[in-house]
Amino acid sequence: MKMNQEWKKHSTVVRPGMYIQGKWHKKVYVIKQKLGAGAIGSVYLCEANGKPAALKISDKRSSMTVEVNVLKSLGRVQGSRLGPSLLDVDDWTAPSGEKYSFYVMEYLQGEPMSAYIRQHGKEWIGVFMLQLLEDLEQLHQHGWVFGDLKIDNLLIVLSPPRVRWVDVGGTTQVGRAIKEYTEFYDRGYWGMGTRKAEPSYDLFAFVMVFLTIYYPNRFNKDTQPEKMLFRKIDEAKGLRPYRLVLRKALIGKYVTSSQMKKELLQVIHNIQKQHTVTGNQAQPTRQDPFLLEAAGISFLAASYYLISLLFQ
């Protein structure tokens, strides 16, 4: 594809050790190493005044502007950590004369979610599910839908472990057409809904994120996609406790992320109860990551739910 050739071009234009100075704000960044490349541009680890930051650069300048607009709107969501914070936006002219746009954001250091769960155990699945739903809930309540929700766009930052979004380029205003998506995570591809930006679009992708942990090589759709996805959930051992909630999310039964979170919490409570009954009787109050998360979140969920009822 043509896109890929443009990537090759980037990687030769921007190299580690290079200095990049912005045309408008005159700040200087030292390129350290390449972190990744996506549909719109490449991301580099850089250093500004001795501090690490992530710099995304591309010659698709209008697409970059659109992404910056999203980051700015998310930044206006008060007290939230939805997406990395934006530090600078500028233009750069390569020695060859080609013009690029770039933006600099907070550098998030962490581990991929699959690796983390593999290493620390499947009990973290429920924790990350709740964290992710909590963030989606905030995003949706502010009138946005994540769009391109996939495992590559998520990172587990440590102490304490927390899911963070690293690429919010696909974030779309509710009611519009999804800006960017990846087929495997897209309900349109599976013939299970439209590409209209609504909370249920993200909740479908949410299920696919957790399926990806058990099917890292993914799988292709067959003639009965719905049946197939249900089967894949049933066959993933770690997802079994959540299977009914995940099924409902797949077929768009949840209109809001709060509804889904409420039912997920119920499931997690039940798991905990079983644990305390069948498990260590002597320490029924042992502090699981679940319990901490669950208590706080269930209070939030209940209040959001009540508020949402008031406005219906």
Select from 11, 33, 85, 194 the one that contacts another protein (CB under 8 A): 194
Q: Write out the DSSP string of 186-246.
A: -TTTTTSS--B--HHHHHHHHHHHHHHHH-TT-----S-HHHHHHHHHHH-GGGGGGHHHH
Q: How far apart are CA 168 and CA 84, in angstroms?
A: 9
159: left (phi over 0), alpha (psi -120 to 50) or beta: left
| Secondary structure letter of residue 84 according to DSSP | P
**Applying CB under 8 A, which part among 107-115, 189-197, 242-250, 291-299 lies near another protein?**
189-197
Q: Is 202 a catalytic residue?
A: no
**Exposed, middle or buried: residue 20 (CB in 10 Å: 0-12, 13-18, 19+)?**
buried
Q: How far is the CB of 15 from another protein (least distance, A)?
A: 23
The 10 Å Cβ neighbour count of residue 225 is 15
Q: Is 2 in the site for another protein (CB under 8 A)?
A: yes
61 binds another protein (CB under 8 A): yes
128/201 with CB nearer another protein: 201
* Tokens of residue 301, six digits: 């969920």
User: Nearest-CA neighbor of 128 among 206, 44, 28, 48?
Assistant: 206
Segment interacting with another protein (CB under 8 A) among 63-71, 123-131, 226-234, 289-297:
63-71
Dig out the tokens for 169 from the structure.
């380029």
Interaction of residue 183 with another protein, rule CB under 8 A: yes
How many residues bind to another protein according to rule CB under 8 A? 29
1: contact with another protein by CB under 8 A? yes
Assigned token pair, 10:
């980037």
To 10 degrees, what angle do helices 289-310 and 123-141 make?
A: 30
- Please name which of 104, 78, 74 lies closest in space to residue 91, comparing C-alpha atoms: 104
Smallest separation, CB 199 to another protein (Å): 15
Name the residue nearer to another protein (CB basis): 195 or 243: 195
Selected binder of another protein within 12, 49, 62, 96 (CB under 8 A): 62
At its nearest, how many Å lie between another protein and the CB of residue 66? 6
Q: Out of 135, 148, 167, 186, which one is annotated catalytic?
A: 148
Enumerate the H helices of the chain as residue ranges.
2-13, 61-76, 113-120, 123-141, 199-214, 225-235, 243-250, 257-278, 289-310
Taking CB under 8 A as the criterion, the residue among 9, 120, 162, 195 binding another protein is: 195
Identify residues 8-47 at the interface with another protein (CB under 8 A).
Answer: 24
Q: Which residue lies nearer to another protein by CB, 99 or 286? A: 99
For helices 243-250 and 199-214, the axis angle rounded to 10 degrees is 130
Task: Using the minimum distance from each CB to another protein, give the nearer residue, 5 or 119.
Answer: 5
Task: Report the nearest approach of another protein to the CB of residue 86 (Å).
Answer: 11
Q: Please, are residues 289 and 127 in contact by the beta-carbon 8 Å criterion?
A: yes
User: Per CB under 8 A, does 176 bind another protein?
Assistant: yes
Whichever of 46 and 113 has its CB closer to another protein, that residue is 46
Is residue 218 a contact point for another protein (CB under 8 A)? no
CA angle in degrees (0–180, nearest 5) for 203-116-36: 75
What binding mask, one character per residue, do residues 73-102 give for another protein by CB under 8 A, x or -?
A: ----------------xxx-------x-x-
Which parts of this chain interact with another protein (CB under 8 A)?
A: 1-5, 24, 61-62, 65-66, 68-69, 72, 89-91, 99, 101, 175-178, 183, 188-189, 194-197
Which positions are catalytic?
A: 148
